[in-house]
Structure 1
Amino acid sequence: MSFPKRRRLEPHARRQEIIEAAERLLIERGADVRVEDVVRGAGAAKGTFYLYFPTWDDLLDTIRQRIFEAFDRAHPMPDTANVAVDWSVLLEELAVAFVDATVEMGGMHDAIFHSDFAQRRAIPAADHPVNRLTGLIRAGQRAETFAAVDPEPTARLLFAVIHETADAVAEGQDRQRALAAMRRMLRQSLGAKP
């Protein structure tokens, strides 16, 4: 029996190949993916996996950070010192982007954010969507765009609305109707103008 010859890759390229294989598999299969699946998908040895990721959680942590970084690159926060910001429009744009990104993640979303891993390794405070939303509400209040609501509990409730909208769209509900209802709830909750 002959085995295919392994390709020689630079360490950073091999690590990247493992990450990308894991992301593909997680999107397709969610939390059912194992190390063996990833190394098979990457064409790497199991030992190679552990050179780059001492534990499965280390790989998932890396993927989670990549998700946040990709979102931030695609949707950067404006430099408020140099640009006037329409906070209600920005909030709605970010909410829609979150819904779309969540749907595109498929099974990876649950594996990264709703599995045992998510319980073992909490999202860093700076990256947590509720904290980000709280900061956005406060900024909108300083600009006198949003009503005088308590930012943190309001952010928690609004994140639940945004997340449920993503779940509804992922389950096949009409995207435009779901987004319209979400936008309406965001505006009404924050006293923003339609």
Structure 2
Amino acid sequence: MDAAERLFVEKGIAATSIDDIAAGAQVAKGTFYLYFPSKEALLGALQQRFVDTFCARLQEAMDRHRPDNHRARLKAWAETGLQTYLDNVALHDVVFHEYRPEDRRMRNDNAVIAQLVALLVQGTAAKVWRVDDATMTAVILFNALHGVADDAVAMGQTSEADRKRRARALTNFFEQALRPEEDGSAD
């Protein structure tokens, strides 16, 4: 998978053959087929690995804060999500934008969104904020994160100072979107 990842980023998916991947991994072509029935299956595995790694980094960042400090955990999720996305944008673009799987359920079965849904539900239960539809809110916030990161790449604004400015804007947006009701209840 490491060889395929490197080659896909360097050459693109279409220009990378299974022979290239086997050679890059220093294995026989038949060995490739012991692990993956096709290049598409490998791409699906790379997507899953990307998501698993992304979620793990988000969880590590959130776990640096007490479980009941929902605002700090949300801020950590946003800041780390932006940082992780920008650190891995080339791989992200290859496995999520260049490759179009037939199953379009990726948005619905997105582990990153599921992780955010859990945080939103916890914060709602603790009356930190009001969220009527945690899944829809998580989709909106996830797409905000994705949009801010894509804009940073498009504008060439990925320096450390740019990242901090964008993370601040993103977390401010999240905080404004998740304000509790005026009376402080989350009914």
TM-score above 0.5: yes
Change (3 A) 1:182 1:31: farther
Greater displacement, 182-191 / 100-109 = 100-109
Cα pair 2:83 2:163 within 8 Å, conserved = no
What is the SS of the residue equivalent to 1:147? coil
Matches within 5 A, 1:18-33: 19-32=1-14, 33=16
Runs of 5+ consecutive residues of structure 2 not aligned to the other structure? 181-187
Match of 1:188 in 2: 176
How many residue pairs get matched? 171
The question of 1:90 aligning with 2:73 is answered yes
Change (3 A) 1:74 1:178: closer
Which of these residues, 106, 118, 129, is aligned with residue 135 of structure 1? Answer: 118
What is the SS of the residue equivalent to 1:76? helix
User: How high is the TM-score relative to the length of structure 2?
Assistant: 0.76
Cα pair 2:54 2:112 within 8 Å, conserved = no
Which of these residues, 136, 150, 157, is aligned with residue 167 of structure 1? Answer: 150
Aligned partner letter, 1:96: E
| Equivalent-residue separation in structure 1 for 2:85 and 2:12 (angstroms) | 13
Match of 2:49 in 1: 66
Which of these residues, 14, 37, 43, is aligned with residue 20 of structure 2? Answer: 37
Match of 1:105 in 2: 88
Cα RMSD of the aligned pairs, angstroms, is 2.7
- Post-superposition offset of 1:30: 4.6
Which of these residues, 179, 182, 191, is aligned with residue 167 of structure 2? Answer: 179
| Equivalent-residue separation in structure 1 for 2:26 and 2:97 (angstroms) | 28
Runs of 5+ consecutive residues of structure 1 not aligned to the other structure? 1-18
- Post-superposition offset of 1:112: 2.2
- Post-superposition offset of 1:124: 8.7
Per-residue CA deviations over 1:78-115 (Å, capped at 9, x if unaligned) read 78xxx542112111211222222222223221232234
User: How high is the TM-score relative to the length of structure 1?
Assistant: 0.73
Runs of 4+ residues over 4 Å off in structure 1 = 124-127
Change (3 A) 1:53 1:141: same
Greater displacement, 150-159 / 176-185 = 150-159
